[in-house]
Amino acid sequence: MARNQQPWATRTARDRSDAPARGRLLDAAETVFARRGYGATTIADITAEAEVSRAGFYVYFASKEEIFRVLAVRVRDAFLAAQDVPGVDQDDVREVVGASTAAFIAAYARHLPLLRLLEQQAQTDDDVRAVWQETQERPIHRSARYIRRLAAEGRAAPVADPLAVARAVGGMSIQFARLTASDPSGYDAAVRDVTAMFLHLLGIGPDR
């Protein structure tokens, strides 16, 4: 087990080929937590939403607290995955920036209700706080490393320190994702605008 890694996080990382019932429980838990809030949600609510028995719940999770923590890890992983853009030409900076921006905004808008709960629970749960901080910081530092590499290769001329640019883009992406969650019809425009601003901060002009 990696240093400082919680057992439930290790199990989540190992169980990538989840049984269908486990996946349904996680999806149901996210839906119910978003609808009822953390305190009001019960295991009975989750199993009813998932159409899984209470005994089936305990095959995969020990408690409501554990399934919430596993959800926190799943959300963190969704944001890290948003920076992986398979099928995109990695040498085309505009294409990479556009695809990763689109994936990040989509992931944030999709998980917004749970993200709000994660932020609340992070105030009182040390394990959730650690995952919440990773969810906020790891995508930013990963983006900063990408920007530094582009600059070192002479493919970008960032207008500020790469970490500052990454934080600015992350903040813009979150704001536009919140707007998208309220009005999904604005998704394409949000991706277009954030991508344009990201490229500007990289010192890369529009593709003529």
pLDDT string in tens for the chain (208-residue length): 444 444 334 344 434 345 888 999 999 999 999 999 999 999 999 999 999 999 999 999 999 999 999 999 988 888 888 778 888 888 899 999 999 999 999 999 988 988 999 999 999 989 899 999 999 999 999 999 999 999 999 999 999 999 999 999 999 999 999 999 999 999 999 999 999 999 999 999 766 4
For residue 64, tell me if it sits in a domain.
yes
Which of these, 97, 108, 124, lies nearest to 182 by C-alpha position? 108
Return the DSSP state at 184: G
- Helix then strand count (H, E) for the chain reads 9, 0
For residue 27, tell me if it sits in a domain.
yes
Residue 126 CB neighbours (<10 A): 8
For residue 114, tell me if it sits in a domain.
yes
CATH number at residue 133: 1.10.357.10
In angstroms, the CA 208 to CA 105 distance is: 25
pTM of the model: 0.80
In angstroms, the CA 9 to CA 108 distance is: 21
Angle made by CA atoms 83, 87, 92, in degrees to the nearest 5: 75
For residue 207, tell me if it sits in a domain.
no
Q: Which residue has tokens 């790891």?
A: 138
In angstroms, the CA 32 to CA 128 distance is: 18
Which of these, 151, 172, 173, 171, lies nearest to 160 by C-alpha position? 151
Q: First vs last Cα of the chain: how many Å apart?
A: 50
* Domain total of the chain: 1
For residue 101, tell me if it sits in a domain.
yes
Q: What is the Rg, in whole angstroms, of the alpha carbon atoms belonging to the chain?
A: 19
For residue 2, tell me if it sits in a domain.
no
In angstroms, the CA 115 to CA 119 distance is: 6
With contact defined as beta carbons under 8 Å apart, do 139 and 83 qualify? yes
Structural domain including 42 reads 7-201
The pLDDT, as a whole number, for residue 17 is 40
The pLDDT, as a whole number, for residue 18 is 53
For residue 143, tell me if it sits in a domain.
yes
The pLDDT, as a whole number, for residue 88 is 86
The pLDDT, as a whole number, for residue 207 is 63
For residue 121, tell me if it sits in a domain.
yes
Burial degree of 55 (CB within 10 A; 0-12, 13-18, 19+): exposed
The pLDDT, as a whole number, for residue 58 is 93
